[in-house]
Structure 1
Amino acid sequence: MDWKEVLRRRLATPNTGLNRKKSEQELKDEEMDLFTKYYSEWKGAGKNTNEFYKIIPRFYYRLPAEDEVLLQKLREESRAVFLQRKSRELLDNEELQNLWFLLDKHQTPPMIGEEAMINYESFLKVGEKAGPKCKQFFTAKVFAKLFHTDSYGRISIMHFFNYVMRKVWLHQTRIGLSLYDVAGQGYLRESDLENYILELIPTLPQLDGLEKSFYSFYVCTAVRKFFFFLDPLRTGKIKIQDILACSFLDDLLELRDEELSKESQETNWFSAPSALRVYGQYLNLDKDHNGMLSKEELSRYGTATMTNVFLDRVFQECLTYDGEMAIQELMKIHGQDPVSFQDVKDEIFDMVKPKDPLKISLQDLINSNQGDTVTTILIDLNGFWTYENREALVANDSENSADLDDT
């Protein structure tokens, strides 16, 4: 009997247990049989059930308790060794210079202006010569990520080198921050970040002029910037990856530039002029010189037009408006006609367009890109007046511009 006949007979065979779909009950019975089998093996392991558990991969490692000093020390030392090993895996300055030399040597003509380019074939050749530390950068994925619209299928050498530099910087910074992660859980507490910034100050030339007596205030100012934005739920800790993802650390480390312009210093929150300006404002508000600001002292900030409700909220003494806008009270004090609460509420809801028509969430404000406007309207009389009269102000600006053109 040849194979064709065998196949024909099999196809003609009535539905049997081999080609019939198993019923739900049969599947449950098989599951129970498997459970019984493994349970029996577990019982057969004897009283020492650890023998059975050895086949399960370990997935949890208990953190040492506070009184387990030796275990804590062992954990700290092992983390330090691990971070040192990771640091050695990064490209050093000499290796980066060698990488730039190789890229420049293998550039692919023609140049676009002064922009040196490299095609994929030369890109791979450089990867072979650059050494094992660079292997992670010379992949098709990285090349495709940096490729834009070059008609010769090339990428910019400068863009690629900047990409490598940025990656190396991020890893270096992560390792540096992790050294201050006392808990070893991937986040920094306030005290951890304070220690990091305090020890960073001597490495920032733009802060050379700060007196050591001012360091504590400077550190406090810098840390509060991080925690205000990166710890909105006030947990007292920030993920290291969140610190790396935001631009604050870039601004702080920008102070390494000895030739940083005056304009850049003025706009950088972490610069010496910015810190001294904040310190001066604080001293001017602190009338009793006790090192703290009362609600009354804070109310004099700026042009003293912040609403009482906002100040109450800052001090967490009042959580509602009690049906009345503080803005209305200030308008009466300054001799202006109060506006309708309902009108302002409707205008704010129209601006934000929240998912829930009855309330506005933080995410609604973020999504609307109108959070700064809404906040200014509610907490500051000047901000409210500017918004209410925005059309007239624009018209006046246009008229003034036209008058200047005529002259």
Structure 2
Amino acid sequence: MELESEITGAIANLQVSPRSIRSKKLGTFNANAPLKQRDGKDHPSFKQIPKFFVPPPKPEDKVRRLLHQEAHSLFLQNQADELLNSDDMNDLWKTLEKYVTETTRSRRQLVNLDGYLKVVSEVGVKCRKIMTVALFFELLVTSNFPDMLEIISIYNYMMSRVLLVQGRIGLSFYDEIGQGYLNESDVERYITDIIPTLEQVSERLQPSFESFYVCTVVKKIFFFLDHLHLRRIRIRDIVSSGLLSQLLELRDTAIPKDAAEIKTTNWFSMSAALEVYENYLDLDRDHDGMLSRKELSEYGSGSLTTVFLDRAFEVCRTYGGEMDYKTFLDFYFAMEHRKTLPALHYIFRILDINQQGYLTAQTLRYFFDGIEERIKAVQAEVVNFQDLKITLKDLINSGQGATVVSILIEFDKFLAYENRVQNHQNV
């Protein structure tokens, strides 16, 4: 194994102290002892409590940082080498077919526990690490056949696990010093690099739209996984959320004929990204690449209240009083997915005028003024408010958070809720 030229160059340029080392120190030198910073002293508590956190090398410590990156890269490469490859998966399928216990009339191939154990004893070490007895009973919970599994369900589980681990390792390569999380620029580089492998995207992606596609994907991931605005996401959260699986599904060349099916089945499809982008272009009446408050007022059915729009432009990042595409994406995701926790966080931040963590009767009154203007126009009954207080936790726990915020910010949603018995329309 050879070190990268950047590392060897940095080591060659190290300034070595001209001081001679005493023979006494050389005599007590232990070559097997871990390296420690000179004169570095461990805290006394380390004698009872192990050290759980080792800070990464500082940016100015170039040599240590490069060595840290190289070690992290080698560790990930070793993990990748442990994954099942196509030959392993082919061998697994042949072994599963070899020990089929029963074949149904519909040609479903089933295996019981005894057959499963025979498969485990014959496959390679990599498969045996995953194919435990516990896995058999875990898959049995969703099986339609008593005490037996379809061999395709075992194969599909192994394949999906390989794809997820591949994705996790792929993401981890962009976490250069192994801290376990990625920022927006890291995720952006990852998406840009894997686009050629996403055949359902790359075959339809125009070069002029690539940056917008990457931006849409990255902002969607961060909107749903970083609702506290930490500007970074743990890699384990990306993997466990299912978003990575959806993204990697686009590598499959089998594209549904119906474009609407692509849009509804995958958030990261070209159809889904184009829908958001075309929505933005339709609102941008003056074609300057930005959205004014007046232009955004036409969003959806055009019934968002003036007070809500005013407040949105106060809270959201704007440039010269106008929204760019990135800011619009957060707004769009919040409006289209109001029942989700990140959307409630987003809208609540706009509604919480005094930034006190709850909504008072005065706050509700303020936002409802915009709705009331429309109510008077249609001569409907005006709502009376009592002394109350609503927190974000209240909205989430009620299970009706999307309904509450919708009737405060959008007149059409208010009317739909008022007439829900007559027209059965969901808010």
Please report the TM-score for the alignment, with normalisation by the length of structure 1: 0.74
Are 1:308 and 2:351 matched, yes or no?
no
1:199 alignment counterpart = 193
Note the alpha carbon deviations across 1:257-304, whole angstroms, 9 max, x for none.
333222222323322233223222212322343432232321121232
What's the C-alpha RMSD, in Å, of the aligned pairs?
A: 2.9
Give the structure 1 partner of residue 371 of structure 2: 328
**2:415 matched residue in structure 1:** 385
Counterpart for residue 14 of structure 2: none
Secondary structure of 2:289's aligned partner: coil
- One-letter amino acid matched to 1:339: V
1:164–1:69 distance in 2 versus 1, CA, 3 Å: same
Matched positions, count: 335
Measure how far apart 1:376 and its partner are: 2.0
Residue of structure 1 in register with 2:383 after alignment? 340
Aligned in 2, Cα 1:147/1:66: closer, same or farther, shift over 3 Å?
same
Q: How does 1:76-115 map to 2 (within 5 A)?
A: 76-109=69-102, 111=104, 113-115=106-108
**Does the CA-based 8 Å contact 2:371-2:410 persist in structure 1?**
no
Rounded Cα–Cα distance in structure 1 between residues aligned with 2:247 and 2:384: 42
Q: How does 1:1-400 map to 2 (within 5 A)?
A: 59-109=52-102, 111=104, 113-148=106-141, 153-207=147-201, 208-261=203-256, 262-267=259-264, 268-317=266-315, 319-320=352-353, 321=363, 323-324=365-366, 325-332=368-375, 334-342=377-385, 358-362=389-393, 364-394=394-424
String of CA shifts for 1:187-233, please: whole Å, max 9, x gaps.
11011111111112221222222221211111111111111111111
Letter of the 1:130 counterpart: V
Question: What SS does the aligned partner of 2:121 have?
Answer: helix
Whole-Å Cα distance in 1 between the matches of residues 218 and 140 of structure 2? 38
Higher share of residues assigned helix = 1
Q: Using the alignment, how far apart are the partners of 1:48 and 1:224 within structure 2? A: 43
State the secondary structure of the residue aligned to 2:390. coil
Q: For 2:193, what is the secondary structure of its paired residue?
A: helix
Question: Contact between 2:69 and 2:177, CA under 8 Å: does it hold in 1?
Answer: no
| 1:307–1:330 CA contact under 8 A, matched in 2 | no
Between 270-279 and 145-154, report the one with greater CA deviation: 145-154
Return the alpha-carbon distance in structure 2 between the equivalents of residues 382 and 280 of structure 1: 23
Structure 1 residues 243-252 or 379-388, which shifts more? Answer: 243-252
Q: Quote the Cα distance in structure 1 between the aligned partners of 2:122 and 2:133.
A: 17
Structure-2 change in CA distance of 1:140 and 1:274 (3 Å): closer
Give the deviation of 1:369 after TM superposition. 3.3
CA distance in 2, matches of 1:241, 1:61: 20
Give the counterpart letter for 1:376 in structure 2.
S
Q: How far apart, in 2, do the equivalents of 1:111 and 1:322 lie?
A: 62
**How many angstroms does 1:251 deviate by?**
2.7
Closer/same/farther in 2, CA of residues 194 and 338 from structure 1, 3 Å limit: farther
Equivalent-residue separation in structure 1 for 2:40 and 2:240 (angstroms): 49
- For the residue of structure 2 that corresponds to 1:62, the secondary structure is coil
Cα distance, 1:328 vs. partner?
A: 2.9
Q: Deviations over 1:149-168 (max 9, x none)?
A: 78863332222222211211
* Percent of residue pairs bearing the same amino acid type: 40
Q: Is the deviation greater in 169-178 or in 260-269? A: 260-269
Q: Which runs of 5+ in 2 are unaligned?
A: 1-38, 316-349, 354-362
Structure 1 residues 367 and 106: CA distance shift in structure 2, 3 A = farther
Structure 1 letter corresponding to 2:283: L
Q: Which ranges in structure 1 are unaligned for 5 or more consecutive residues?
A: 1-46, 346-356, 396-407
The higher-RCO structure (CA 8 Å, 6+ apart) is 2
Task: Report Cα offsets for 1:106-135 as digits up to 9, x if no partner.
Answer: 111364743222222222221121111011
In 2: Cα distance, 1:156 partner to 1:75 partner: 45
Q: Is the 8 A contact 2:72 2:177 kept in 1?
A: no
Q: Distance in 1 between matches of 2:377 and 2:177?
A: 53
Distance 1:284 1:106, change over 3 A: same
- Structure 1 CA distance for aligned equivalents of residues 297 and 40 of structure 2: 70
Residue 84 of structure 1, CA deviation: 0.6
